[in-house]
Amino acid sequence: MVLIVNTTSDTSVTDELKKSLENRAAETEFIEAAPLKISHCIGCNHCWLKTPGECAIKDDYEIILKRIIHAEQLWVISDTALGFIDYKGKNIFDRIIPIMTMYLTFVGDQMRHVPRYEQKTDMGLIILGEADKDYLKRWIERAALNMGSRSLGVFERNELKEAVSCM
């Protein structure tokens, strides 16, 4: 399943993606996150140590978390700020950590958290503003590596066709 989370209020992007993907065999799910209540991660670590796998913040992020664990791909559509994705986009990634456990191992020569689920979710970005794209590519590769998955790349608003070709 391909999960596409739109953290922006621009639904024309998801409309366009839906059209492009309607004849595709792969199952696709869209979540419009802009109207949802999604807090930042507060770093309590309860998802690792007190209520394993469950976030202590009871808000709409649970909808996303429950779908991520079944997704082969997670695409986050985000506005940009300060050369990066904006805080709403970043919160989607920060809140993902319940899919990892507190346990640690080495993968190659670096420490990693042991994944909680078997499903590995590759991750891609669609950005709707200016950002340091080279940095974002590096960042999403690194973030994916930490989740035991792969980066699907970083695409701008005018590169949706290229993004779709990776879905």
Q: Which residues bind other proteins (CB under 8 A)?
A: 40-44, 46, 48-54, 65-66, 69, 81-84, 86-88, 90-91, 93-94, 96-97, 101-106, 109-111, 114, 116-117, 132, 135, 138-139, 142-143, 146
Q: Are 69 and 117 in contact (CB under 8 A)?
A: yes
Compare residues 143 and 164 and give the one whose CB is closer to other proteins: 143
Compare residues 26 and 42 and give the one whose CB is closer to other proteins: 42
Smallest separation, CB 82 to other proteins (Å): 4
Task: Give the single-character DSSP code of 58.
Answer: -
145 CB burial (10 A radius; 0-12, 13-18, 19+):
middle
Compare residues 17 and 144 and give the one whose CB is closer to other proteins: 144
Smallest separation, CB 127 to other proteins (Å): 14
Smallest separation, CB 81 to other proteins (Å): 5
Place of tokens 């290229």: 162
Q: How far apart are CA 112 and CA 123, in angstroms?
A: 17
Compare residues 21 and 84 and give the one whose CB is closer to other proteins: 84
Compare residues 53 and 160 and give the one whose CB is closer to other proteins: 53
Smallest separation, CB 157 to other proteins (Å): 20
Give the Cβ contact number of residue 103 at 10 Å.
Answer: 11
Q: How far apart are CA 153 and CA 166, in angstroms?
A: 9
Smallest separation, CB 14 to other proteins (Å): 22
Backbone dihedral region for residue 66 (phi beyond 0: left; psi -120 to 50: alpha; all else: beta): alpha
